[in-house]
Structure 1
């Protein structure tokens, strides 16, 4: 049992400089909430596991963050309540839900959603980092469509060790912006689009007028972060879509429906859209009840917007079949979650 989904990354303090700055105070990663520290007489080193997992993530995803030097760790995890941990002692192939929670997933992504996600993934790809080593991992892409015109506002941390002076910054920024525009023109499907990068920048103000970091993330000296405040499980924050309020990261993958249903609704929606003809858009809603087996939600509703090419009775019947199949297969789905085979962002 574990629900370590109340974690906070507190920003550190840095001094940015052209040619490379310094970290004056490391970031702090605080782990909070509940976990099992002993099972069947075996002690579980929860704190060590959490810290090592975080260090591995930093090494794999942040090129310039040394997880031993640039991050401090604070464990505020306590044993779980007897009622919730008893869910595991009760056993059974399918565990009972440890919360009453609702989730919603949908498909397909719009053209705007697809290009927003694609731009961020491309800018954080190995290919892009090889071309532009000065580009940091801290990237935000805001997309806005009006009629048939797309506007993208991109924020990207630059790494100061690769920037010689203000002139060099703006020259490299121009090259990166050109590459983003090329990618959008090739991949988006929009004939009219506008892309802007780091719009707070002001030439002539030196370090104060540009977006520089030491480690490639604004968390090194500016912005803190918290579980649940970032992207949803599909990698986006779509303001015109219904959203689940649960944070998926940190929750256990076998009984916490705040994680399971959050991801399962999206998987079911995508499966319905891809396998059932006649659908323009589909939403899947699920509601659990604490203490009830997770394969038996009290609500599993499908909202379909048809394209009028198929009889609705046929569409409805096939959609129900997908939902039933996915719920019957929920044990395998949970195991994929447990082994990290399904990304949660």
Structure 2
């Protein structure tokens, strides 16, 4: 029997609260870049371990950092003065039964490929790479040698997920994805990747503040910048207004000031502020459902880069959201669902110390749905090995 508890939550649903705040750090944000690259390193290491040894070995690549460089922006195209630096941190398995795993080159090659695939104006060969990954501790490494079908948790840690997403959360997420979509970039190549969307809902009014660095090679003058900015703003307004019933206001690049030259406009050489203005770090970006929902309980662990078979800071982070979604979609009469998972170090990850569901009912009583909720939680935990393999091969997003 699993330790499952179900409770009715006496709270006002988020959509009925007067104020809601939601943030999304986009594709080219330094924190998003760190999370994405370090998690992809975990995916590539998992593939390497599986392909060569038939199992995933100990690793956690969740202490990465992106150190900002230095550029000189210029109308028509600026120059890079000092390259960005990517630092890879924490632990991995470098040797198995006398066979060497080239962790350092896997990490660097993975970062270069991610940058090629996602950042149009960043040359990965001009970035500096610093690999500080070392071998793991004996006790944590030993977890992977115990040959259990379900590994023990490598930490005592808690996570929380929820469902459904609110209209505000959804539009914040979808707006950034639209602005960074290939089709949008084809129409507006001057739009950089380092897009951030901050949503504020007060009652039925939604205010979106968007930051989008324009790429200087497409901008010939200060006047040209503000013309392009106006075009982008109108495009964003049209997109948002068609996808929400809320009254909307959209603001773009609010630090801009006409007449101040380069000091009054948001220009970049490469499309990301990591080129000279802002460093990045794993765990400071979006939660695993793609947003930073300030009205919700959220997990404190950084999921990106952690190993997918024993590190509950990753597994439970993502799984709690999946379980909450499954409950919401399959159990009737629910307004909101919150799922809490707590591990105990060394115990099998499919047997959490507690798996708790808190629900806000649409109608009826908790007793009418308790059995169905229990069955959903039990089923998802029973299938945790398959879930971990989805994480291992990068089939589930964590940023």
Same-fold status (TM-score > 0.5): yes
Taking the aligned partners of 1:95 and 1:162, their CA distance within structure 2 comes to 52
Larger relative contact order (Cα-Cα within 8 Å, sequence gap ≥ 6): 2
Provide the residue aligned with 1:143 in structure 2: 199
Q: Secondary structure at the match of 1:31?
A: strand
| Aligned counterpart for 2:257 among listed residues 173, 190, 202 | 202
Please give the secondary structure, in 2, of the residue aligned with 1:135: coil
1:116-265 superposed matches below 5 A: 116-190=172-246, 192-265=247-320
Q: How does 1:1-345 map to 2 (within 5 A)?
A: 1-69=58-126, 71-190=127-246, 192-308=247-363, 310-345=364-399
Kindly tell me the number of residue pairs found equivalent between the two proteins: 342
SS at match of 1:33: strand
CA RMSD of aligned residues (A): 0.7
CA shift digits 1:159-215 (9 cap, x unpaired): 11010110110000000000100011001221x111000000000111110000100
Residue by residue, what CA displacement relative to the aligned partner does 1:211-236 show, whole Å, maximum 9, x if unpaired?
00100000011100000001111111
Give me the whole-angstrom Cα distance separating, in 2, the residues matched to 1:157 and 1:247: 27
Deviation, structure 1 residue 4: 1.1
How far apart in 2 are the matches of 1:212 and 1:286?
A: 44
Instruction: Give the C-alpha shift of residue 311 in structure 1.
Output: 4.3
Deviation at 1:42, TM superposition (A): 1.1
Which contiguous aligned blocks of 4+ residues in structure 1 show a shift greater than 4 angstroms? none
SS in 1 for 2:213: strand
- C-alpha distance in 2, partners of 1:263/1:239? 18
Distance in structure 2 (CA, Å) of the matches to 1:319 and 1:160:
53
TM-score, normalization by structure 2: 0.85
How far did residue 257 of structure 1 move?
0.3
Secondary structure of 2:309's match? coil
> In 2, Cα distance between the equivalents of 1:300 and 1:286?
5
TM-score calculated relative to the size of structure 1:
0.98
Q: Deviations over 1:234-273 (max 9, x none)?
A: 1111111101010011100000000000000000011111
Structure 1 counterpart of 2:52? none
Residue 136 of structure 1: how far off its partner (Å): 0.5
Structure 2 distance, partners of 1:39, 1:302, is 41
1:275-317 deviations in whole A, cap 9, x for unaligned?
1111000000000011001001001000000100x44223211
Structure 1: 5+ residue stretches without partners: none
Q: The residue matched to 1:14 in structure 2 has which SS?
A: strand
